[in-house]
Structure 1
Amino acid sequence: MESQSSIFQNSESTALADGASMTTSKGTLGDHSSMPSPEPAPDQNTGHTPLLEAEQVEETHNDNHTREHSNQPGDDKKSIAPSLSSIKSYNHRDSRKFLLWTGFNRLCVTLLLCLILALTLRAYEGFDEKHPRILGKGETKTFNALVLGLSLALGLNLASSLKHYGLILRWTILTRRYVTLQVFDLILGCENLTNVLKLMIVSIPGIERVAFDKVPLLKDIAWLKARRDGSRYTWVICLLWILINIGAQTLVATLSIFWPVNPSEIMPLLVRGDISVSDLRAWQVDASNHSTAPQLSVANAYGIAGSQYPTYSDQSAIDELYMQGSNAVLRGDDYYQYTFLNRNPDSMHSDYIASSRGVRSSAACTQFTFGEGSGDRLNGSVYASSDGGHSWDYYPILHSIKGQITWTAIVDETCGDRCTTLYVYQRADNYTIVHNSMFLCNSTVSDITGKDDEFTGLKDEKKASIYSADKFAQIAAGAIGWSGYYEDGFYDRQSKAYLSGLPFTPYEILNTTGVQDIISRFTIGAIAAFDDHGPRIILKDQQGSPLQGQQLQVDWLRVLIILMWICLLQSLALVVLLACANKSIMRDESFFSLAMLLSPIVNRIGRESGMNLSGEEIYNHPKLWNQKIKYHYRKIKDGSRKIKKVDILVEDEDWSEKDMLKRSHPWGDGLFC
């Protein structure tokens, strides 16, 4: 720690005898014109200027040494002139620069630690809010170690800075008035908050009456007898100082509350391991090669379940919904799209992530023109034309319900490998549905697309399961019309009618666009539901297996407010330091320097009888009992110059200083020893 104690350090190891006579002859302190060189520049570490160079001290020493052994009259008179090597120049401007430099350096360390802490939090939270960083176990431990170290460093730096400020401010406090030895000792030890607390208690007005008159048991507490200095505001200053120290540490400790590390709810951590994906070869685990009827019924059930999934037109909204544990469907201009999920086999419904694989469903419909009967179902058929009246035919409708929609899907391939043809018939009920409607639709499921490098080391069988068989897609395309059984001798088709109230059974007159939308939405819903709880396969040893990770969630508003308060508290302490501390010479923390300062007081007891005394015994020694002291200086004259001697003054003994010290004021610039 830098200090200003160098004003009390010898600039030359050879010191003059304490009784040397100080004259104004050539080479002595009093003759300014005899100095061979200009006054040195101020010491950057102390703010004080050494007075003499080594050659000057040596010359003066030799001259004084010669005169010390002469037999001139008056040589036996004791001189109070100081040793030249202990004289230093004190300047308020240099001292202020030193205080500013020291205090600002410590404030910069605090600012730097706050900045590093904020950057660390941001780095582990993620700089992109849309793609937060997910932490594994190792990263979480590293983060905890980093922020713990930074928090400790910040707290220790704050405590050290405030302690340093207090050690500097104590010298100004000690110059303000005479205090008892106990109070003087407590102020000297103000780096310890326990001493500050004791000083606060003994400084409360009326504490002696309360402590000794009303609570007799407190008479045994020796330090409660310390106050007899008459100050009314010392306890307020002590209380504020304690609150500042406790508040600063509390703020640092509170910081960790506002950056919890919780299990990630946005996205999982991707590690190397097994991945569970949907088996898109068949709609049943035990699918028979001889009959597809059971699969058709299963596909329809998945479609009904998938119709409840939310639909969005913004992919970002879907990604957010995935993280909440729900499947979602993306709606395009004339299609619906679903993105498959990769799941952790050990926790499929908690650890999953959207894959690169996606599929689309679409439908193209043509509305029939009715001929004879206006579209009424007669003998199980409807007479209609699908080309605007150029050709007419009877189209079988297996069953119908007034006001409801009948969906009939053709089992055989008629429009492509991944396509199913459907007939949609809406029967009038003479209320809302005022006329019959019929549509011919081709429902198509696209190929599954995805990144080639999403999985590695896959065999053809696994690839077929991931990217689906054509038969699987064809069944999905007609899911809305599958019933799972054949009726009335029609083995090339199945028909399904639904009651009102479902998302895919609107009670309104249908049009081409509406029918296309219903079919493609039901189809993609069946695939989404199958991916959610259908048959699955496990891909071994793949990169990107989803695992529950940890996510840092920083409450930036409160964190920044706390960091600002920490910096503000230290800044305010620095302002107080600059405003109040530059009133006297500030000594360092050296115990030897402090021993030199206190030696005039403790020497009254004597070395022979006082070396083993405790502080309390020294306070109560008969030679020091009831004494009040203060840190100040005496004016002495050295030739033509006035020198101030730093000393501990005793009340009622230093009468020559009484007028000068009646009011506390800053020590003026000049020479001090």
Structure 2
Amino acid sequence: MRTAVTAMKIPPSLLSWRSDSWRSDGRTDSFSNEYFKRRNQLKRLLFACLVRWFMTAVLVMGTYLVLWRYSRKAAMISNKKKEFNTLIIALSIALGLNIASSLKHLDLANFEPLQRPKADYILQSENFSCLFQLGYVTRRHWVRVYVLFWVLVNVASQIAVASLGLTYNINSADTIAVTTPGVVAIPDMSNIQTGKVLSSNSQAISALRYTANNYGLVALAYGFGDIDEMPKAGSLFNSDGDLMYCDLNSCYYVFYEATPDNLDYYQSVATNRSISTQATCQSWRVLKGGDGTERTITIDNANKTQLTIPALNGGSQTTFMVDPDRGSGPTWGHVLAFEASATDPWFYNCNVTIGPVTNVQNPLQDVGVNVTSLAASAIALQGYGASTIGVSFNSTRHFQFQSYPAESYYGGPQGGNNTGMGQLMASFAVGVVAITAQVNTNVNATGLLPLKGIELDITSWTYVHIILILTVGLQLLLAVIAAVIASKVTIRDHSCVGLAAALQPLLWKLDNSGSSRTTCEKRIFERLGDGVKVSYIKGRSGLYYIKADE
């Protein structure tokens, strides 16, 4: 005699929102036998799979946006590293768990008769260990292939998520710095400090001229770049990059600010301050004495002017000359050049000017007159051992000159090209300012202090795209395949009541063996016997039910 009990209402799961099965008329008191509407169930399964896939797609998109957003920043403060790691780890964990959960719901059923241990493992195939045990106990090769395939799919999905971390690196920023207002170290540009060239930091005029000329030569080692390569404000100093930049007969230098000595790290960044030099020239062909072996030359101007050359250095060289007392000022220099050659000699008359420092906000950021006046004519300055024509001792009135061989950068023949000669003189002048800024001692001033920065370096966006696209693509493909195959039979929900109803035929057999009170799994299977086989078959009129046979 059956006792009436109050039915418990089980909350519907995702797969049981809508019933796609009808009660069988064969047994009015059983829910173990059902037939179903295949189309409705397929829609329901596809919808459930698409919901899980959509969650994966959202997590993948979130991961991609985090990588894209942080990689676009040229530099970030160090604290951003914790923020990025928190986001990417959280998304990776959520993505891994969601994929594992989705794959767990895609396990396919085995419809052929199985011995009861195998049937039990299939019913628990959502458990990874049971899936392993199924592959171990079964003797059917295709079942083992399926188990191996499903294990590999699960492992591959987790490896894919984990390998995403191999596509990026968090490195110290090496191109752009994050800056904040503070105290910075800037070069003292009030004077040229001669201690780097001479044995003492002498401020004698000969020492200053000699040092200025040496600085212009040293600048060649730092290199000259095109005007469009000038560093932007905040760019970190690159020792492998160019220090000065030229365009036609104008050249530029960008000033840098560095961290003060009291900090435990050092960084030097470009500012928005720069200085420019420009040289405009006139040129005439030399009519007489152009081979560099005569004291006087005649140039091809209207007056056929004759000029005296301070030194006889022969051909294939260029001699630059300046009268410091009459040919220079605070920010300009009047420089002459004799391009000696046995075949094509030229003479140049050039004016070199040095512009003001742009965006100066503090007097310490400006360049002193003692620097600009020497830099303008530095290409011709000699300092010691100047010309002795008309004098017998070294004085400030000595005519200054320097000679450079044709094989050198500054002695290269220009052949009457005024722009080319102007660029040579402008580059020498800006080089003096640049090297002075590099070697002079620093002073502290207010500015934009560079901070320790990091950058997210994506080693290969191609690998990122492949990993993320395969993650969502393969999950969608497996979901559709599983839904189509599973729709061949009734798919019940995951509730315990639904599972118990499906297993009624097996429990009836247990009742017949007198073991209805047995609760131990091992004892239950012992009562059933090893010969019991369980199958989920299709009966008459599309009826599906679990069948237990000896």
Return the TM-score normalized by structure 2: 0.84
Letter of the 1:439 partner, please give it.
Answer: Y
User: What is the distance in 2 between the residues matched to 1:374 and 1:237?
Assistant: 93
Match of 2:39 among 93, 100, 106: 93
Deviation of 1:299 after TM superposition, in Å, equals: 1.5
> Structure 1 residues 98, 402: CA separation in 2 closer, same or farther (over 3 Å shift)?
same
- Provide closer, same or farther for how the CA distance between residues 89 and 650 of structure 1 changes in structure 2, counting only shifts above 3 A: closer
> d(CA) in 1 for partners of 2:8 and 2:237?
84
Alignment deviations for residues 330-363 of structure 1 (CA, whole Å, 9 cap, x no partner):
2223311222222234599973332111111111
1:389-538 mapped onto 2 (5 Å cutoff): 389=303, 392=305, 394-395=307-308, 397-398=310-311, 400-412=313-325, 414=327, 416-428=329-341, 433-434=342-343, 436-450=345-359, 458=362, 463=363, 465-485=364-384, 487=386, 488=388, 489=391, 491-492=396-397, 493-506=399-412, 509=415, 511-538=417-444
Instruction: Spell out the pairing of 1:228-267 with structure 2 (5 A cutoff).
Output: 231-267=140-176
Is the partner of 1:46 in helix, strand or coil?
coil
**Residue pair 1:321, 1:327 contacting (<8 A) in 2 also:** no
Moved more, 419-428 or 96-105: 419-428
Shift of 1:445: 1.0
Q: How much does 1:585 deviate?
A: 2.1
Return closer, same or farther for 1:348/1:553 CA change in 2, 3 Å cut-off.
farther
Larger RCO (alpha carbons 8 Å, 6+ apart) = 2
Q: Measure, in 2, the Cα distance between the counterparts of 1:259 and 1:393.
A: 70
* 1:549 CA drift (Å): 2.8
d(CA) in 2 for partners of 1:595 and 1:373? Answer: 116
CA distance in 1, matches of 2:26, 2:405: 117
Which of 44, 54, 57 pairs up with 1:111? Answer: 57
Maintained 8 Å contact 1:376/1:382: no
Task: Tell whether the 8 Å contact from 1:600 to 1:648 is kept in structure 2 after alignment.
Answer: no
1:631 aligns with 2:536: yes
Residue correspondence of structure 1 range 247-326 to structure 2 within 5 A? 247-284=156-193, 291-316=204-229, 323=238, 325-326=240-241
Match of 1:195 among 130, 135, 150: 130
The alpha-carbon deviation at position 484 of structure 1 amounts to 2.2
TM-aligned CA deviation for residue 544 of structure 1: 4.4
What is the distance in 1 between the residues matched to 2:517 and 2:530?
16
Seen in structure 2, the aligned counterparts of structure 1 residues 197 and 134 have a Cα distance that, compared at 3 Å, is same
Instruction: Indicate which of 537, 540, 546 corresponds to 1:648.
Output: 546
SS at match of 2:302: coil
Equivalent residue runs for 1:596-615 within 5 Å: 596-598=501-503, 599-604=507-512, 606=514, 610-611=518-519, 613=520, 615=521
Residue 302 of structure 2 is matched in structure 1 by: 388
Q: Do 1:377 and 1:397's aligned partners in 2 also have CA atoms closer than 8 Å? A: no
SS at match of 2:475: helix
Can you list the C-alpha shifts for 1:526-568, whole angstroms capped at 9, x where unaligned?
Answer: 222333333322224x434253433333521110011111112
For structure 1, which runs of at least 5 residues remain unmatched after alignment? 1-9, 16-42, 52-78, 127-131, 206-230, 636-641, 653-673
SS at match of 1:165: coil
Question: What secondary structure, in the 3-state scheme, does the structure 2 residue paired with 1:200 have?
Answer: helix
| 1:124, distance to aligned residue in structure 2 (A) | 0.5
SS in 1 for 2:222: coil
CA contact (8 A) 1:244 1:569 kept: no
What is aligned with 1:48?
A: 20
Tell me which residue corresponds to 1:178: 113
For normalisation by structure 1, the TM-score amounts to 0.70
For the Cα contact (< 8 Å) 1:178–1:630, is it kept in 2? Answer: yes
Deviations 1:61-102 (A, max 9, x none): xxxxxxxxxxxxxxxxxx984249999883222211110110
User: Within 1, Cα distance between the matches of 2:545 and 2:477?
Assistant: 31
Residues 503 and 448 of structure 1, relative CA distance in 2, 3 Å threshold:
same
* C-alpha distance after superposition, 1:184-230 (max 9, x if no partner): 11111111222222222333x5xxxxxxxxxxxxxxxxxxxxxxxxx
The 1-side partners of 2:242 and 2:481 are apart by 61
The equivalent residue for 2:455 is: 550
The equivalent position to 1:338 in structure 2, one of 236, 240, 253, is 253
Distance across 1 between alignment mates of 2:299 and 2:401: 20
Give the counterpart letter for 1:382 in structure 2. Answer: T
Describe the shift of the 1:394–1:50 C-alpha distance in structure 2 as closer, same or farther (beyond 3 A).
same
Name the amino acid aligned to 1:82: T
Tell me how far apart the structure 2 counterparts of residues 435 and 623 of structure 1 sit (CA, whole Å): 114
Match of 1:149 among 90, 100, 113: 90
Alpha carbons of structure 1 residues 417 and 385: separation in structure 2 relative to 1, 3 Å: farther
Q: Secondary structure at the match of 2:408?
A: coil
Query: In 2 relative to 1, CA 628–483 (structure 1 residues): closer, same or farther, beyond 3 Å?
Result: same
Q: Which residue of structure 2 aligns with residue 29 of structure 1?
A: none
Moved more, 364-373 or 188-197: 364-373
Call closer, same or farther: CA 1:565–1:394 in 2, change over 3 Å. Answer: closer
Q: Distance in 1 between matches of 2:517 and 2:383?
A: 112
Compared CA separation, residues 593 and 193, structure 1 to 2 (3 A): same
Q: Distance in 2 between matches of 1:235 and 1:590?
A: 28
Per-residue displacement from partner, 1:222-241 (whole Å, max 9, x unpaired)?
A: xxxxxxxxx44111111111
The verdict on how the C-alpha distance between 1:519 and 1:366 changes in structure 2, with shifts beyond 3 A counting, is same
Map of 1:531-610 to 2, 5 A cutoff? 531-540=437-446, 542-598=447-503, 599-604=507-512, 606=514, 610=518
> Greater CA deviation, 394-403 or 527-536?
394-403
Asked if the contact 1:306–1:525 (Cα under 8 Å) also holds between the matched residues in 2, the reply is yes
Other structure's SS at 1:505 match: coil
Unaligned runs of 5+ in 2: 10-14
Distance 1:605 1:338, change over 3 A: farther
Distance 2:227 2:32 in 1: 81
Distance in 2, Cα, partners of 1:555 & 1:148:
19
Q: Say if 1:410 and 1:253 are closer, same or farther in 2 by CA, change over 3 A.
A: same
- Three-state SS of the structure 1 residue aligned to 2:184 is strand
Taking a change above 3 Å as real, the CA distance of residues 324 and 632 of structure 1, as seen in their structure-2 partners, is farther
- Would you say how many aligned residue pairs link Structure 1 and Structure 2? 525
Structure 1 residue 435 displacement after superposition: 5.7
Question: Cα gap change, 1:623/1:95 in structure 2, threshold over 3 Å: closer, same or farther?
Answer: closer
**Structure 1 vs Structure 2: percent identity of aligned residues?**
21
Checking the alignment, whether the CA contact within 8 Å between 1:362 and 1:520 is kept in structure 2 is: yes
Cα distance change on mapping 1:146 and 1:240 into 2, 3 Å: same
Query: Structure 2 vs 1, CA of residues 394 and 565 (structure 1 numbering), >3 Å: closer, same or farther?
Result: closer
Letter in 2 for 1:600: W
Tell which structure's C-alpha radius of gyration is larger. Answer: 1
Alignment partners' CA distance in 2, 1:523 and 1:610: 101
Measure, in 1, the Cα distance between the counterparts of 2:414 and 2:279: 20
Answer yes or no: is the 8 Å Cα contact 2:322–2:336 preserved in 1.
yes
Letter in 2 for 1:185: D
Residue aligning to 1:665: none
